[in-house]
Structures are given as structure tokens and as C-alpha cells.
């Protein structure tokens, strides 16, 4: 019995994004030698990265040097298929008034989306997303501010970016978020996220900086509803800070080194299995990027 594969000639010059997708299919389509049936195994390299507004921490620990190209170089080197971005500027003077998610996407040949959490004068600030695959739809989901703001931390309005991507005809819903520093802020985000995830009609990937560690009881509702890809990371792995030069101001006015925290997540619904989980040792941002390969 012979197995035939059709080849189609593309007469026009394919775009860079088309070439990326053809390469993705080439490496993900396998032929089962026993049945001569094509078996489609989709693999996605997925990454989450808090880019600190494009500030570069590789030179000195305070991030005064605005250089988004440093983060772009990191993303290019890791080469994810999709990447969540936190702390993304949009036409803010401090970042030279660029639309940062689009700037990064355009530089790398990715599609991009942005969800504003805060409106400043001028400019916006929120979450971003870049993808090798077409973004079918993208919406901003505002997270309500908590009524109780009694915790001694910085409060900031938050949002969730939901993007639907088309991976070879299969839709995936991607949620990108950045939880607050306060427990009440995080509770609002988790409650809202769960309502959208439970209503999703497609497989779900959730990514972002959650500002809380996996063993915190606040995470239990999400851990029960989703698979945490970082469960297999070795004890002591941390994604923040990216190096030891960060100092946290204490109430008495003194400074102490920041604690080492694992607070950047990639979570999925059961359609996915994860492998190659890696927290990358780079210093372009104050956070380290976290990536994994998802099979589905």
C-alpha cells in the first residue's frame, strides 16, 4: 500500500508569517508507519514575559534605561510560537510613544494585540500578546477595583486580554493577565478569570505575572480548574527578580533584597500536556521569561 502526499505550488511570494506556519506544519505532521494514516500532533512553544515597559535591567538593576530591543532579542532567541506580555506601554512618552506590543510583534514578524488597563495622559498601559498564528479575535476584560484597599501595598487597575488564535484550523483561547499586589485585587481577577474560562468553547491557555506563589491558598481555585505547567519546576526556581540587585524598601526606610519568587505562570485546560518547562536566566527585564512546549 502506498501513501501519497499532495504538494501545492504557491506562485506568489509567501510572506514571512506564511513561511513560519509552513515550517510549523512541517515539523508537526508525522506519518504513522503502521497504518499509513497521517497523525497530526500540534506542538506550541509558549512563553510568558513581564517586560517592565521595555526597560532594560541588563546594564543596571533599576531599569532606567529604556530599551525594548533587549526584550525583543530575548524573545527572538527563545523563539516562542505565542508569548504573553505584561507591563506593556502604549504611546507613553517614557517608551518613546511606541505601541509596544505592536512594535515587538512587527520586529519579530508576529501578529499582536494589546489590552489597556490604565489610561494616562497621554498613553495607555496594560497587557500584550504576540503570536505566529493569526489572531481571530481579541478583547479587553476590565477587572473591577476592590472596594477594600486597606492593605499597605500599591493598588493598580488591572485587566485581562483574551485572544483567540487559529492554529491550522484549530482555535485556542489565550488569556493574558497581570494580578495585583493586594489580595483583594487578586481575588477579583481570579473570580473573573474563572467565569470566562468555564464559559470558553475552545482549549484555554492562561499566562501572566500573578504576583503570588503557587503554594498560596489564593491560588487553589485556579489550581483546581487548570493545569499548572510549572508544577514540575525544581524547588527553588524563581522568575522574579531577574538578578540580585533589586532592593525592597521597608517600612522603617531601610532596604533589603527582594525575596526570590516564582510568580509567572502558564496554565492550561486538560487538552494540553506540557514539557520542556524553562525559566530563562536573562536580565533584560526585572522578570525572567518562562516557557514551555504544549502538545495537543
- Which cell is 279 given? 525559566
pLDDT tens per residue, range 160-184: 999 999 999 999 999 999 999 999 9
pLDDT tens per residue, range 3-37: 333 333 344 455 666 656 655 655 555 444 444 33
pLDDT tens per residue, range 40-74: 678 999 999 999 999 888 776 565 688 899 999 99
DSSP notation for 25-78 = HHHHEEE-TTT--EEE--EEEEEEEE-GGGEE-SSSTT--EE-HHHHHHHHHHH
Q: Where are the domains of the chain?
A: 43-295
Phi-psi region of 223 (alpha: psi -120 to 50; beta: other; left: phi over 0): alpha
Q: pTM score, two decimals?
A: 0.86
Per CATH, the number for 43-295 is: 3.60.10.10
Amino acid at each position: 500500500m502506498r501513501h501519497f502526499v499532495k504538494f501545492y505550488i504557491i506562485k506568489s511570494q509567501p510572506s514571512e508569517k506564511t513561511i513560519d506556519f509552513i515550517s510549523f506544519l512541517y515539523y508537526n505532521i508525522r506519518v504513522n508507519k503502521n497504518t499509513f494514516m497521517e497523525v497530526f500532533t500540534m506542538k506550541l512553544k509558549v512563553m510568558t514575559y513581564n517586560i517592565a515597559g521595555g526597560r532594560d535591567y541588563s546594564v543596571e538593576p533599576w531599569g532606567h534605561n529604556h530599551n525594548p530591543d533587549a526584550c525583543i532579542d530575548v524573545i527572538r532567541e527563545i523563539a516562542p510560537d505565542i508569548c504573553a506580555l505584561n507591563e506593556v506601554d502604549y504611546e507613553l512618552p517614557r517608551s518613546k510613544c511606541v505601541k509596544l506590543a505592536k512594535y515587538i510583534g512587527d520586529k519579530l514578524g508576529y501578529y499582536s494585540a494589546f489590552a489597556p488597563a490604565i489610561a494616562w495622559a497621554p498613553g495607555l498601559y496594560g497587557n500584550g500578546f504576540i503570536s505566529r498564528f493569526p489572531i481571530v479575535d481579541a478583547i479587553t476584560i476590565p477587572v473591577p477595583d476592590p472596594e477594600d484597599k486597606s492593605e499597605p501595598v500599591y493598588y493598580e487597575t488591572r485587566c485581562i486580554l483574551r485572544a483567540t488564535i487559529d492554529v491550522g484550523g484549530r482555535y485556542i483561547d489565550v488569556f493574558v493577565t497581570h494580578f495585583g499586589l493586594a489580595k483583594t485585587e487578586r481575588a477579583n481577577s481570579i473570580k473573573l478569570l474563572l467565569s470566562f474560562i468555564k464559559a470558553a468553547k475552545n482549549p484555554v491557555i492562561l499566562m501572566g505575572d500573578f504576583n503570588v506563589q503557587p503554594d498560596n491558598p489564593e491560588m487553589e481555585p485556579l489550581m483546581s480548574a487548570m493545569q499548572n505547567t510549572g508544577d514540575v519546576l525544581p524547588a527553588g526556581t524563581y522568575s522574579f527578580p531577574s538578578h540580585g540587585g533589586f532592593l525592597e524598601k521597608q517600612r522603617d526606610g531601610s532596604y533589603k533584597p527582594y525575596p526570590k519568587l516564582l510568580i509567572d505562570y502558564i496554565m492550561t485546560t486538560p487538552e494540553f500536556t506540557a514539557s520542556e518547562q524553562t525559566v530563562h536566566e536573562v536580565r533584560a527585564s526585572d522578570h525572567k521569561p518562562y516557557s514551555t512546549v504544549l502538545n495537543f
